[in-house]
Amino acid sequence: MKPVTFLVAVLGLAACDSQVETRKVEVPAAEQARSLPAAAPLSAAGPAATVQPDTDANQQWAASVVELTPLTRQGDRTVKLFGTAGGDPAMNGLYTHVAFFDSPAEGWRVFRIGDFLDYRVLSETPGRVDLEVNESSMDGATGTIGSRKRRVIIGWAVATDGSVPATISVTPAQ
């Protein structure tokens, strides 16, 4: 009985992989065909260069970005939504942010929107993006994990001087 219990425990722990990056995203064949035109494989035209792993600690954080959505209707301002892997993938795990590029000296101003399974942009206008988010939910009485979809409006003031917003708002929506 003990080997069976051990095997069940090991398999259970393996299923609780905290690395959301291991989730596979299936891309429909039609989309794959659009994204890469048919081409013959390349042939080497010189010696290969050996590249070592990047040891900059910030690269670990950058590699945890698993979703990126540029917002293209924000005028001259560079704005994006992005999600990083983290937390328990059984209960959400996509830490979702909106980021505004300020300047090379200041970098990005980043606001965390929430912790979801995923998000989808429904619409976008200057100073606003409407999202549908899919998130885990837990029944407090039974401990059963389920999921739900909800909608939110992410809003911010568009400054006449082009500066990045000091705050944003996250409003429940229908």
pLDDT per residue as tens digits for the range 152-172: 999 999 999 989 999 999 999
Confidence of residue 28 (pLDDT cuts 50, 70, 90): low
Q: Is the model's pLDDT at 9 over the cut of 80?
A: no
Confidence of residue 57 (pLDDT cuts 50, 70, 90): confident
Q: Is the model's pLDDT at 119 over the cut of 60?
A: yes
- Stretch among 23-27, 37-41, 93-97, 165-169 having the lowest mean pLDDT: 23-27
Q: Give the HSE-up count for residue 95: Cα atoms under 13 Å, Cβ half-sphere.
A: 13
Q: How far is CA 103 from the centre of its chain?
A: 23
Compute φ and ψ for 163, nearest 5 degrees: -75, 160
Which pLDDT score is estimated for 79?
97
Report the mean per-residue pLDDT for the chain. Answer: 83
Q: Is the model's pLDDT at 60 over the cut of 80?
A: yes
Q: Is the model's pLDDT at 83 over the cut of 60?
A: yes
- Using CA atoms, how far residue 36 sits from 7, 33, 42, 66, in Å, is 43, 6, 14, 21
Of 14-28, 80-94, 147-161, where does the model show the most confidence?
147-161
Which pLDDT score is estimated for 118?
93
More confident residue, 42 or 22: 42
Q: What is the dihedral of CA 164, 165, 168, 174, to 10 degrees?
A: -70
